[in-house]
Structure 1
Amino acid sequence: MARVDYYNDPTAPRANSLVPSVTAAARDDRGRILLVEKVDNGFWALPGGAMELGESIRDAAIREVEEETGVHVGIIGLVGIYTDPRHVMEYDDGEVRQEFSVCFRARPLSGEPRKDGTETKAARWVDPVELSGLSIHPSMRRRIDAALAGGSEPEIV
């Protein structure tokens, strides 16, 4: 399903949905961060997705990272909570979702990055100096920057 992200755009469609979702900022022992290239919008992003009924938000983050990248992670902290109503995502089925995402800090436990072929067309460890060369939505870049800064206080937006 195709997706268009709007951020601070006065022409954006009005949100009609709110779905709890997660992202996880996993860093390896070399300081690289695990990113995926999304099929739905072509942007590079932290792995993540919607929480499912019957699971905790923590378990959703672990599941989503493994599904999208093949890397099993452990959750070690909170980067932030992102609920900015100026960021909406429009899907081709008519859903317009307001951002609602909890971003966790994670560490890799096992596995090697690989695309899933459904939601991700690439997955890899990225050195922070490479970030400026990747197409990253501003809302996602904010999360990545907060994760790399490593502050002890979570960001709440």
Structure 2
Amino acid sequence: MQRVTNCTVIKDGKVLLLQKPSRGWWVAPGGKMETGETIKESAIRECREETGFTVKNPELTGVYTMVIEEDGKVISEWMLFTFKGTDYSGTMLEHSPEGELKWWDTDKTNNLPMAEGDRKLMQHSLHGEGIMFGTFYYSPSYELLRSRIDSDPTVKS
């Protein structure tokens, strides 16, 4: 099972998102964990590599299982650990190796093109409290088939 992290960077009512060229979908910067990394180290490294910003003390906002199904069979599965960061240093890259970077008003993100599961976890990172847990089931073309969400505001990262 692949392990993936991402980090929603928030500043002054705006969120920094990355538009992936393959689908044109907007995502929080992130990617695959490297051997021996903690989830926090991975989120910080991935954010720095994709944006130029080093996030300080990112807060864990979600732990998710992403499942790709075809004809009722699981063909891929990974774990996603989502963070948010409001304190960072560095200079934003002019050209990210992963796509276009853009600051968006947080209230405009719900209508951006993105995977439906990503929309739910991003809204939680932007507006929710505590850690959200969930499983998202997708078709191979990333159509959301179903999901299960468990948000526990008493759990703090």
The residue that corresponds to 1:156 in the other structure is: 133
The residue that corresponds to 1:112 in the other structure is: 91
Which runs of 4 or more aligned residues in structure 1 lie more than 4 Å from their structure 2 counterparts after TM superposition?
none
Residues 61 and 82 in structure 2, CA contact (< 8 A), matched pair in contact too: yes
The residue that corresponds to 1:82 in the other structure is: 64
Residues 65 and 80 in structure 2, CA contact (< 8 A), matched pair in contact too: yes
The partner residue of 2:104 within 112, 126, 133 is 126
Q: CA separation of 1:136/1:127 partners in 2, compared to 1, >3 Å: closer, same or farther?
A: same
Deviations 1:6-65 (A, max 9, x none): xxxxxxxxxxxx21010111211x121111011333210001000001221111100100
Q: CA separation of 1:101/1:111 partners in 2, compared to 1, >3 Å: closer, same or farther?
A: same
The reply on whether 1:57 has 2:35 as its aligned counterpart is: no
Distance 1:135 1:87 in 2: 22
| Greater share of residues in strand | 2
The residue that corresponds to 2:139 in the other structure is: none
The partner residue of 1:71 within 53, 66, 69 is 53
TM-score, length-scaled by structure 2: 0.73
Q: Which has the higher contact order (CA 8 A, sep 6+)?
A: 1
Identity, in percent, stands at 28
- Specify the SS of the correspondent of 2:36: coil
- Specify the SS of the correspondent of 2:86: strand
Distance 1:125 1:54 in 2: 32
